[in-house]
Structure 1
Amino acid sequence: MASTQNATAGAPGAALIAPLMARGAGETLMDQIVRSIRARIDDKLLRGGSRMPSIRRFAASHGVSAFTVVASYDKLVAQGYLESRRGAGFFVRERSPLNTGERSAAPMLAAASDPGDPRPLDVVWLIRNLFRAVPMQDVPGSGVLPSEWLDGAGIANALRSVGRQHASLLLNYGAPQGFLPLRQQLQLKLAELEIEAAPHQIVTTVGVTQALDLVAREFTRPGDTIFVDDPAWFLMFGSFAATGARVVGIPRLADGPDLARLAELAALHKPRLYVINSVLHNPTSTSLSAAKAFQVLRIAEEHGFTIVEDDIYCDLHPGSAVQPATRLAALDQLDRVIYLGGFSKSMAANLRVGFIATSAELAQRLADRKMLATLTSSDIGERVAYKILSEGVYRKHLDRVRARLDSVRGKVFRQMERSGLAAGPAPAAGMFAWVDTGIDTNLLAERAMAADILLAPGSLFSPSQLPSTRMRLNVAAMQEPRIWAFLERELGSS
């Protein structure tokens, strides 16, 4: 290197980085350049506004190609370290805490438990912390399986296969109603559940989250009422409230909703929708009995509301041949029931592939509404999901996941009882335990966060959000001894 002096605004520096390492160091020249410049910017050796050497000068100084320099600068622009000024070159971007991205992952969880943060525990609190850089083994409140339980190699193979397709297939918008071969594959999947739905009755979505939002916006106006189970998946409470809807909880029992309360509240509120998990309910992992399923449909008919059956955990259930599983859509055949499904729990959360099955007329209206919101969903993700579903390996993957859950569920429930948690009998399938701690789980979650452990307190699973002694635990994420040590210490001292 000729020099290591800093670049100053308007005057390009000479050599900005330490000598480029041996070419066989296992890192590309571009990555070496990017890492070295990032380090100098992070260490304040290159200050905001400083002009970078021209591409030609940098290439000549370091014995690399102009192409390598361009690619390196472009990557630094994408990462927020540099900015490109037309006709003037590249400059170090002025940086603030908002655009540094807090590069170190270690402080991220600590920030969530900062005692100076006045934010109360609510739905946003849990979602925000679920997306922090926390190891999965320290997130027993999570709603997904550990990544090592999923078929990462299968996803990668499907991505490579899709990537080899003609570029024009990957560069344009997808079909508004969804990738047709995937919808044809979903028709076969639904037929196995005894639900008849042709491809034109299916609309793909960006996960079940978007599916719920589309249906809610189609059916409700500000002031309308939506019924949900209590407890239930917390995210939809805030989503529905944002549309102006009133969210009312129906007490959930071991075999489905409290029918007396459902009928009473339906007469009082005249709801537009009732969102229910029939199979492997979140957070209890219980399932709807056949007797109650018929009664739910009768009450819906009597009071004129539509049922939205969220079956996101469908693939974690071993099937009716092994265990009873009654789906409202199979009984109703998509007359008064809208069926939702997806693959974030069993395939990959990052694919964000969900779907809606309903009548042909409503499917078209929902596809139009989807276009107004996002034009289309990701055709690439849908092609990957289709590849996985259509090649036969997905069934074997599900067999392995269910067997692994079965192998840990009983052990975890026994350990819960020893640790002071009232868990009751273990459900026959699924990943969740809905446990009673005997203390306010908001306080327990706050103490857990201080120990870098993320719990899901029961108050978040009710539309009322009142304090609760319950919490949801993911049995697949209960393998870390320090989680048990924390629970035993806290519950033993309560």
Structure 2
Amino acid sequence: MNSPLAATLARDTGESLTDQIVRSVAVRIDERELRSGSRMPSIRRFAEHHGVSPFTVVAAYDKLVARGYLESRRGAGFFIRDRAPVRPTAATVVPEPANGALDVSWLVRNMFRQMPHRQMPGTGVLPGEWLDGASVTNALRAIGRLDSQFLLNYGTPQGYLPLREQLQRKLAELEIGAAPEQFVTTAGVTQALDIVAREFTRPGDTILVDDPAWFLMFGSFAALGARVIGVPRLPDGPDLARLAELAALHKPRLYVINSVLHNPSSTSLSAAKAFQVLRLAAEHGFTIIEDDIYSDLHPGSAVQPATRLAALDQLQRVVYLSGFSKTMAANLRVGFIAASPDLARRLADRKMLQTLTTSDIGERIVHKILSEGAYRKHAERMRARLDGLRARTVRQMERVGLAVDVAPPAGMFVWADAGTDTNVLAERAMGEGILLAPGSLFSPSQLPSTFMRLNVAAMQDPAIWRFLQKNL
């Protein structure tokens, strides 16, 4: 066989010799210059011919095997593999919703498309450039320099102990008392909700949720066989009369609530209503799941009113959930549950049955960022940036025809009334490459709605405003 390289190896570039070999061989295979089934030169022969070490050739051949270009035949060497024609990936095409109706899966699929963030006012995260990528990178590098044994083993079922100790200090600032053994780390709040729901409910049980509320949990709870019933959410918390009525009628096992920076309205629970919610929970025997994922986007109760049920109840009837996907990095998938000691042990056992443990690497990264002190200033910068946009963005919303009944003083979301069916509006917007989040998806009833959730951090593209002005 002639040399499988298409070019001479260069030693004065930033590209390693291994990667040069991989790139050149792959190009020749893709262009059919090297035939399927042909044997590659032996490692020793290749190394001598190109003046590189055998270790470099071994590394290159291994990469080519991993990428599907070569196959290794024991005792015979390396051979060029038959490569199937490349087909377009499913991610490039988003199917139309069945029967013309948008659903939660439609929104989630489109949120994970490779769209420019500036064209996704319906997304639930901040733009990547708002987050502190340098801190995550530095923490990852520092952890990579530690003893590699922890990278190869499982974590601990309740989570990395130094992180749980750091979470104890974090919750103490919110006036929630919790020892390290009262925490269970999770793969984000999504897994936390699933673990708690599985612990408390059986098929046929009722779970109450705010209406509107975070859409993903509706399907998750329904998949467990639970009945999901909405409690109307008002600017200062749930409609208490309706909550009492539904609790008496359905005997729910759980009630899920955002006390602070409710998704999708960014409103917060008042102190007066918080006491009444706890009273109803005691009277009707249901447990409260308090989802506080947006905690670090709130400036604190000294600046704006913020009442957390877990602070009033001290984790007796309240299970507290939070995480760092919204403010640190969604890809770390580090969340946590805080509960009474006995319940925390049971939840850790249930977590083991699902996933054994969560990623020790991600938990160590979060711990390092939290413990070094820079995260507090990062959160302050995010809040200040949102504050600088929010009022101006709301005024512009109203100019193009959106009605905002309650302009939130904090957070990233605005719950706006478009005066038209936002399912239709969202389909039309997607045709122009813009992702909106229609209000129907935020209700367990999934009925048509004129409301939609808008992310003020993702509303800066003029194309969004032109679309809204033209279609409202």
Give the TM-score band, short-chain normalised. over 0.9
Q: Distance in 2 between matches of 1:46 and 1:467?
A: 58
Contact 1:83–1:93 (CA under 8 A) maintained in structure 2: no
Q: Distance in 1 between matches of 2:139 and 2:32?
A: 43
Report the residue type matching 2:233 in the other structure.
R
Deviation at 1:424, TM superposition (A): 3.1
One of 310, 315, 325 as aligned partner of 1:329: 310
Deviation at 1:154, TM superposition (A): 0.8
Matched, 1:130 2:111: yes
Report the residue type matching 1:35 in the other structure.
R
Q: Distance in 2 between matches of 1:154 and 1:471?
A: 34
Q: Distance in 2 between matches of 1:82 and 1:269?
A: 61
Deviations 1:190-237 (A, max 9, x none): 111111100011111111111101001101111111111111111111
Matched, 1:155 2:136: yes
Q: Report matched runs for 1:230-379 at 5 Å.
A: 230-379=211-360
3-state SS of the aligned residue for 2:13?
A: coil
Flag the 1:319–1:175 CA change in 2: closer, same or farther, 3 A. Answer: same
Q: Distance in 2 between matches of 1:47 and 1:123?
A: 47
Q: Distance in 1 between matches of 2:385 and 2:255?
A: 33
Flag the 1:77–1:475 CA change in 2: closer, same or farther, 3 A. Answer: farther
The aligned counterpart of 1:169 is: 150
Deviations 1:387-442 (A, max 9, x none): 11111111111111100010011111111111221123421100001111122222
Deviation at 1:70, TM superposition (A): 2.7
Q: Distance in 1 between matches of 2:204 and 2:125?
A: 33
The aligned counterpart of 1:476 is: 457
Deviations 1:314-370 (A, max 9, x none): 000000010010000011111110000100001111111111000100100100111
The aligned counterpart of 1:10 is: none
3-state SS of the aligned residue for 1:183?
A: helix
3-state SS of the aligned residue for 2:229?
A: strand
Q: Distance in 2 between matches of 1:49 and 1:248?
A: 60
Flag the 1:182–1:19 CA change in 2: closer, same or farther, 3 A. Answer: same
Flag the 1:58–1:119 CA change in 2: closer, same or farther, 3 A. Answer: farther
3-state SS of the aligned residue for 2:444?
A: coil
Q: Report matched runs for 1:405-416 at 5 Å.
A: 405-416=386-397
- CA RMSD for the aligned pairs? 2.2
The aligned counterpart of 1:72 is: 60
Contact 1:457–1:470 (CA under 8 A) maintained in structure 2: yes
The aligned counterpart of 2:14 is: 26
3-state SS of the aligned residue for 2:264?
A: coil
Report the residue type matching 2:21 in the other structure.
I
Matched, 1:140 2:121: yes
Matched, 1:218 2:199: yes
3-state SS of the aligned residue for 2:228?
A: strand
Deviations 1:63-100 (A, max 9, x none): 44332333233334434444444444344254355xx6
Matched, 1:208 2:189: yes
Deviates more, 1:67-76 or 1:203-212: 67-76
Contact 2:37–2:82 (CA under 8 A) maintained in structure 1: yes
Report the residue type matching 1:73 in the other structure.
Y
Flag the 1:174–1:118 CA change in 2: closer, same or farther, 3 A. Answer: same
Deviations 1:170-195 (A, max 9, x none): 32211111111111110111111111
Q: Distance in 2 between matches of 1:235 and 1:303?
A: 26
Q: Distance in 1 between matches of 2:173 and 2:115?
A: 38
Deviates more, 1:169-178 or 1:387-396: 169-178
Deviation at 1:20, TM superposition (A): 3.8
Deviation at 1:262, TM superposition (A): 0.8
Report the residue type matching 1:168 in the other structure.
Q
Flag the 1:118–1:326 CA change in 2: closer, same or farther, 3 A. Answer: same
Deviation at 1:130, TM superposition (A): 1.5
Matched, 1:384 2:365: yes
Flag the 1:18–1:379 CA change in 2: closer, same or farther, 3 A. Answer: same
Gaps of 5+ in 2: none
The aligned counterpart of 1:445 is: 426
Matched, 1:192 2:192: no
One of 79, 95, 110 as aligned partner of 2:84: 95
Deviation at 1:119, TM superposition (A): 8.0
Normalised by the size of structure 2, how large is the TM-score?
0.94
Q: Distance in 2 between matches of 1:272 and 1:46?
A: 64
Deviation at 1:132, TM superposition (A): 1.7
Gaps of 5+ in 1: 1-12
Report the residue type matching 1:394 in the other structure.
Y
Contact 1:140–1:477 (CA under 8 A) maintained in structure 2: yes
The number of equivalent residue pairs is 471
Contact 1:49–1:94 (CA under 8 A) maintained in structure 2: no
Report the residue type matching 1:373 in the other structure.
Q
3-state SS of the aligned residue for 1:466?
A: coil
Deviates more, 1:63-72 or 1:320-329: 63-72
Q: Distance in 1 between matches of 2:116 and 2:370?
A: 29
Report the residue type matching 1:95 in the other structure.
A
Matched, 1:489 2:470: yes
Report the residue type matching 1:211 in the other structure.
A
3-state SS of the aligned residue for 1:347?
A: coil
Report the residue type matching 2:55 in the other structure.
F
Contact 1:46–1:92 (CA under 8 A) maintained in structure 2: no
Contact 1:193–1:330 (CA under 8 A) maintained in structure 2: yes
Report the residue type matching 1:122 in the other structure.
D
